[in-house]
Amino acid sequence: MIFKMALVTPNLALLLFAIILIIAAILAWVLGSYQNYDKGKFHTFISILAGLGVFVTFMFYYNVVQLQNQQQQLAVLEEIGRINDSVLNSILISLQDYSSLIPNFILSITPLTNTVCCTNQCSTEPDPINPQTCTAKMAISYQIFSLWQDVITSGTFLSIDPLSYVSGFLQRANSSQLYSQWNVSYIGFNNKTQTFGNLLFEYGLPIVNQTPEEYTSVAQNLINDPRYSSIFN
Protein backbone atom coordinates (compact mmCIF):
# COMPACT_ATOMS: atom_id res chain seq x y z
CA MET A 1 0.00 0.00 0.00
CA ILE A 2 1.40 3.39 -0.99
CA PHE A 3 0.38 6.42 1.07
CA LYS A 4 0.23 9.62 -0.94
CA MET A 5 1.36 12.88 0.61
CA ALA A 6 -0.71 16.01 0.13
CA LEU A 7 1.08 18.96 -1.40
CA VAL A 8 1.85 21.53 1.32
CA THR A 9 2.98 24.97 0.22
CA PRO A 10 5.44 27.00 2.34
CA ASN A 11 2.75 29.60 3.12
CA LEU A 12 0.34 26.91 4.30
CA ALA A 13 3.02 25.39 6.50
CA LEU A 14 3.69 28.79 8.11
CA LEU A 15 -0.02 29.33 8.64
CA LEU A 16 -0.43 25.94 10.33
CA PHE A 17 2.59 26.64 12.53
CA ALA A 18 1.12 29.99 13.58
CA ILE A 19 -2.25 28.37 14.37
CA ILE A 20 -0.55 25.73 16.53
CA LEU A 21 1.31 28.46 18.45
CA ILE A 22 -1.94 30.33 19.08
CA ILE A 23 -3.73 27.17 20.25
CA ALA A 24 -0.82 26.34 22.56
CA ALA A 25 -0.88 29.84 24.04
CA ILE A 26 -4.64 29.67 24.64
CA LEU A 27 -4.42 26.25 26.28
CA ALA A 28 -1.55 27.42 28.50
CA TRP A 29 -3.65 30.39 29.60
CA VAL A 30 -6.77 28.30 30.28
CA LEU A 31 -5.08 25.41 32.09
CA GLY A 32 -2.97 27.66 34.28
CA SER A 33 -0.11 26.07 36.21
CA TYR A 34 1.63 22.87 35.12
CA GLN A 35 0.26 21.01 38.16
CA ASN A 36 -3.30 21.47 36.91
CA TYR A 37 -2.29 20.30 33.48
CA ASP A 38 -0.48 17.23 34.83
CA LYS A 39 -3.57 16.05 36.70
CA GLY A 40 -6.13 16.78 34.00
CA LYS A 41 -7.65 14.65 31.24
CA PHE A 42 -6.01 16.86 28.67
CA HIS A 43 -2.64 15.51 29.77
CA THR A 44 -3.85 11.99 29.01
CA PHE A 45 -5.09 13.15 25.63
CA ILE A 46 -1.74 14.73 24.75
CA SER A 47 0.15 11.61 25.86
CA ILE A 48 -1.99 9.39 23.65
CA LEU A 49 -1.67 11.85 20.77
CA ALA A 50 2.12 11.86 21.14
CA GLY A 51 2.14 8.06 21.00
CA LEU A 52 0.05 8.10 17.86
CA GLY A 53 2.43 10.71 16.48
CA VAL A 54 5.18 8.07 16.42
CA PHE A 55 3.00 5.94 14.15
CA VAL A 56 2.23 8.92 11.91
CA THR A 57 5.94 9.73 11.70
CA PHE A 58 6.69 6.14 10.69
CA MET A 59 4.05 6.23 7.95
CA PHE A 60 5.47 9.51 6.68
CA TYR A 61 8.96 8.01 6.59
CA TYR A 62 7.62 4.93 4.80
CA ASN A 63 6.00 7.19 2.23
CA VAL A 64 9.26 9.06 1.66
CA VAL A 65 11.15 5.78 1.14
CA GLN A 66 8.51 4.60 -1.33
CA LEU A 67 8.79 7.87 -3.22
CA GLN A 68 12.58 7.56 -3.39
CA ASN A 69 12.29 4.01 -4.75
CA GLN A 70 9.86 5.17 -7.41
CA GLN A 71 12.19 8.00 -8.39
CA GLN A 72 15.11 5.56 -8.68
CA GLN A 73 13.05 3.22 -10.86
CA LEU A 74 11.99 6.15 -13.04
CA ALA A 75 15.62 7.25 -13.38
CA VAL A 76 16.62 3.75 -14.51
CA LEU A 77 13.79 3.63 -17.05
CA GLU A 78 14.79 7.04 -18.39
CA GLU A 79 18.41 5.84 -18.69
CA ILE A 80 17.28 2.73 -20.55
CA GLY A 81 15.30 4.92 -22.92
CA ARG A 82 18.30 7.16 -23.48
CA ILE A 83 20.60 4.23 -24.24
CA ASN A 84 18.05 2.62 -26.54
CA ASP A 85 17.63 5.93 -28.31
CA SER A 86 21.39 6.03 -28.85
CA VAL A 87 21.29 2.55 -30.36
CA LEU A 88 18.21 2.93 -32.54
CA ASN A 89 18.16 6.57 -33.56
CA SER A 90 21.87 7.24 -33.73
CA ILE A 91 23.97 4.20 -34.53
CA LEU A 92 21.45 2.32 -36.66
CA ILE A 93 20.60 5.40 -38.68
CA SER A 94 24.32 5.96 -39.26
CA LEU A 95 24.69 2.37 -40.43
CA GLN A 96 21.91 2.94 -42.92
CA ASP A 97 23.32 6.26 -44.11
CA TYR A 98 26.83 4.84 -44.71
CA SER A 99 25.80 1.43 -46.04
CA SER A 100 26.40 2.48 -49.65
CA LEU A 101 29.70 4.25 -48.88
CA ILE A 102 31.43 1.57 -46.76
CA PRO A 103 29.28 -1.59 -47.22
CA ASN A 104 32.01 -4.02 -46.23
CA PHE A 105 32.64 -2.26 -42.93
CA ILE A 106 28.89 -2.09 -42.18
CA LEU A 107 28.50 -5.80 -42.88
CA SER A 108 31.42 -6.61 -40.59
CA ILE A 109 29.73 -5.02 -37.55
CA THR A 110 26.34 -6.64 -38.21
CA PRO A 111 27.38 -10.31 -38.59
CA LEU A 112 24.32 -11.94 -37.08
CA THR A 113 21.88 -9.94 -39.21
CA ASN A 114 23.85 -10.78 -42.34
CA THR A 115 23.12 -14.48 -41.92
CA VAL A 116 19.47 -13.69 -42.63
CA CYS A 117 19.46 -10.91 -45.22
CA CYS A 118 22.79 -11.32 -47.04
CA THR A 119 23.17 -15.02 -47.73
CA ASN A 120 25.42 -15.23 -50.81
CA GLN A 121 24.05 -11.88 -52.01
CA CYS A 122 26.21 -9.21 -50.38
CA SER A 123 29.50 -8.09 -51.81
CA THR A 124 32.59 -8.88 -49.75
CA GLU A 125 34.95 -6.68 -51.73
CA PRO A 126 37.03 -4.29 -49.58
CA ASP A 127 35.76 -0.75 -49.23
CA PRO A 128 37.59 1.93 -51.23
CA ILE A 129 40.18 3.89 -49.30
CA ASN A 130 39.66 7.64 -49.49
CA PRO A 131 39.03 10.51 -47.05
CA GLN A 132 35.27 9.99 -47.16
CA THR A 133 35.34 6.28 -46.30
CA CYS A 134 38.00 6.72 -43.62
CA THR A 135 36.00 9.50 -41.98
CA ALA A 136 32.79 7.46 -42.15
CA LYS A 137 34.44 4.47 -40.46
CA MET A 138 35.87 6.71 -37.76
CA ALA A 139 32.51 8.38 -37.11
CA ILE A 140 30.55 5.13 -36.77
CA SER A 141 33.27 3.55 -34.64
CA TYR A 142 33.29 6.53 -32.30
CA GLN A 143 29.51 6.26 -31.88
CA ILE A 144 29.81 2.60 -30.93
CA PHE A 145 32.67 3.19 -28.48
CA SER A 146 30.84 6.17 -26.95
CA LEU A 147 27.80 3.96 -26.38
CA TRP A 148 29.97 1.51 -24.47
CA GLN A 149 31.23 4.36 -22.31
CA ASP A 150 27.69 5.66 -21.74
CA VAL A 151 26.63 2.24 -20.49
CA ILE A 152 29.52 2.14 -18.04
CA THR A 153 29.02 5.67 -16.71
CA SER A 154 25.29 5.04 -16.17
CA GLY A 155 26.15 3.10 -13.02
CA THR A 156 24.04 0.02 -12.32
CA PHE A 157 22.22 0.21 -15.63
CA LEU A 158 23.45 -3.16 -16.94
CA SER A 159 22.40 -4.90 -13.71
CA ILE A 160 18.83 -5.04 -15.10
CA ASP A 161 19.37 -6.99 -18.31
CA PRO A 162 23.08 -7.28 -19.11
CA LEU A 163 22.84 -10.37 -21.32
CA SER A 164 20.90 -8.79 -24.17
CA TYR A 165 23.07 -5.67 -24.34
CA VAL A 166 26.39 -7.51 -24.05
CA SER A 167 25.22 -9.90 -26.79
CA GLY A 168 24.61 -6.91 -29.03
CA PHE A 169 27.96 -5.35 -28.19
CA LEU A 170 29.71 -8.64 -29.02
CA GLN A 171 28.28 -8.53 -32.53
CA ARG A 172 30.05 -5.22 -33.09
CA ALA A 173 33.22 -6.59 -31.47
CA ASN A 174 33.21 -9.53 -33.89
CA SER A 175 34.53 -7.12 -36.55
CA SER A 176 38.28 -7.06 -37.12
CA GLN A 177 37.80 -3.76 -38.95
CA LEU A 178 36.18 -2.21 -35.88
CA TYR A 179 39.02 -3.61 -33.79
CA SER A 180 41.47 -1.72 -36.01
CA GLN A 181 39.55 1.46 -35.27
CA TRP A 182 39.58 0.65 -31.55
CA ASN A 183 43.36 0.31 -31.54
CA VAL A 184 43.75 3.94 -32.56
CA SER A 185 40.73 5.36 -30.68
CA TYR A 186 40.74 3.73 -27.23
CA ILE A 187 43.04 6.40 -25.76
CA GLY A 188 40.15 8.86 -26.04
CA PHE A 189 38.04 6.94 -23.51
CA ASN A 190 38.30 6.38 -19.77
CA ASN A 191 40.04 3.40 -18.19
CA LYS A 192 36.88 1.40 -17.55
CA THR A 193 35.76 1.83 -21.14
CA GLN A 194 39.17 0.68 -22.35
CA THR A 195 38.92 -2.43 -20.18
CA PHE A 196 35.36 -3.10 -21.33
CA GLY A 197 36.27 -2.62 -24.98
CA ASN A 198 39.27 -4.92 -24.74
CA LEU A 199 37.10 -7.50 -23.03
CA LEU A 200 34.45 -7.31 -25.76
CA PHE A 201 37.00 -7.79 -28.54
CA GLU A 202 38.73 -10.58 -26.63
CA TYR A 203 35.47 -12.54 -26.50
CA GLY A 204 33.91 -11.23 -29.72
CA LEU A 205 36.62 -11.61 -32.34
CA PRO A 206 36.95 -15.44 -32.05
CA ILE A 207 33.20 -16.03 -32.63
CA VAL A 208 32.74 -17.99 -35.86
CA ASN A 209 29.35 -19.63 -35.44
CA GLN A 210 26.94 -16.78 -36.26
CA THR A 211 23.88 -17.79 -34.26
CA PRO A 212 21.96 -16.05 -31.47
CA GLU A 213 22.70 -18.97 -29.17
CA GLU A 214 26.45 -18.59 -29.70
CA TYR A 215 26.42 -14.88 -28.89
CA THR A 216 24.24 -15.47 -25.83
CA SER A 217 26.60 -18.16 -24.58
CA VAL A 218 29.71 -16.04 -25.12
CA ALA A 219 28.00 -13.03 -23.51
CA GLN A 220 27.27 -15.09 -20.41
CA ASN A 221 30.90 -16.17 -20.21
CA LEU A 222 31.99 -12.55 -20.51
CA ILE A 223 29.61 -11.46 -17.75
CA ASN A 224 31.04 -14.16 -15.48
CA ASP A 225 34.57 -12.89 -16.12
CA PRO A 226 36.00 -11.22 -12.96
CA ARG A 227 37.21 -8.30 -15.07
CA TYR A 228 33.62 -7.54 -16.05
CA SER A 229 32.58 -7.47 -12.39
CA SER A 230 35.44 -5.10 -11.58
CA ILE A 231 34.17 -2.65 -14.21
CA PHE A 232 30.60 -2.42 -12.95
CA ASN A 233 31.35 -2.66 -9.24
Does residue 74 sit within a domain?
A: no
Residues 18 and 44 in one domain: yes
Do 44 and 106 share a structural domain?
no
Asked if residue 206 and residue 120 are part of one domain, the reply reads yes
Q: What is the DSSP string of 35-61?
A: HHHHHSHHHHHHHHHHHHHHHHHHHHH
Q: In terms of domains, do 64 and 85 share one?
A: no
The domain of 14 spans 10-68
**What pLDDT does residue 21 have?**
65
Same domain, 93 and 63: no
In a domain, residue 100? The reply is yes
Counted domains in the chain: 2
Average per-residue pLDDT for the chain: 79
For residue 197, tell me if it sits in a domain: yes
Res. 223 pLDDT band, cuts 50 70 90: very high
201 shares its domain with 97: yes
Residue 1 lies in a domain: no
Residue 118, pLDDT score: 65
Residues 86, 60: one domain?
no
The per-residue pLDDT for 8 is 53
Model confidence pLDDT, tens digit, residues 59-83: 667 767 777 777 777 776 676 666 6
Q: What is the pLDDT of residues 73-119, one digit of tens each?
A: 777 667 666 666 666 667 888 888 888 899 999 999 988 887 776 65
**151, 157 contact by CB (below 8 A):** yes
Tens of pLDDT, residues 187-206: 999 999 999 999 999 999 99
The answer to pTM > 0.85 is no
Is 63 inside any structural domain? Answer: yes
Helix or strand run (H / E) with residue 13: helix 10-31
Task: Name the most confidently modeled range: 37-41, 98-102, 134-138.
Answer: 134-138
